Amino acid sequence: MNLENITKLLSPGEQILWASKPVPGNLMDSKNKTRNLRWFIIVGAAFALLMFFYAKACIRAGTSVFSVVTIVFILMAAIIFLDPVTTFNKLKKTEYAITNQRVIVCSSTASSFSLPIAKAKPVQVLDEDGGLSTLIIGTEKPAKATKLRSLGLMGLFVTENDKDVPHPVFYRVPDAKEALRILESAAN
């Protein structure tokens, strides 16, 4: 496993105890299919409705800016529409690590963050098919199953001392039992 991004984040004397990458499955797997279809339908319907009212207003006003604004709307809708696809692709490049000092989530395309190992309890384990598990680390706050994929990139935000703090979510990792064992031994 290439840990190039994780090793750049290590402090002097910090050692990697466990590292893994998510196995995101298929873009439209059973847990994400409903959410993605709902997202595509809502964005598509909102876009069609806005374009209808915009075209109607342009025809009434007799303006010629229709084509420029239409292109901008189409580009914005495409970016929003493709959010599930970009999240899926970013997740493929994400790395998770547990060191002797902290728990790290690192992605080459998203911001990296960490949580001190002392705060890495409790750990919620969500078992999935094929020997994969999702770990939610450092909080008891529940996460919706349909949001786990995006939480694997940015973490589960919890308000602490009037600040939103991301707690790592190791999304669909193959060796979660080893990670759990390391986190439990670090807590003792």
d(CA 128, CA 141): 19
- The residue ranges of DSSP E strands in the chain, in sequence order, are 16-20, 94-99, 102-107, 113-116, 123-127, 133-137, 156-160, 163-167, 169-173
- DSSP annotation of 122: S
**Per-residue confidence (pLDDT) for residue 12, from 0 to 100:** 93
User: pTM of this prediction?
Assistant: 0.77
| CA pair distance 54, 145, nearest whole angstrom | 37
pLDDT score for 136: 95
Q: How confident is the model at residue 108, as a pLDDT?
A: 65
What's residue 66's pLDDT? 62
What's the pLDDT score for residue 16? 93
Q: State phi, psi for 99 to the nearest 5 degrees.
A: -110, 180
Q: CA-CA distance, 46 to 167, in Å (whole number)? A: 33
36 class by beta-carbon count within 10 Å (0-12 exposed, 13-18 middle, 19+ buried): buried
**Which DSSP string do the residues of 75-109 spell out, in sequence order?**
HHHHHHHTHHHHHHHHHHTEEEEEESSEEEEEESS
pLDDT given at position 138: 92
The pLDDT averaged over each successive group of 10 residues in the chain (188 residues) is 78 93 76 74 82 78 69 78 82 92 83 90 85 91 85 88 90 91 84
- pLDDT given at position 64: 62
Q: Would you state the pLDDT for residue 20? A: 93
Q: In which residue are the tokens 């595509």 written?
A: 40
Cα-only R_g, the chain: 21
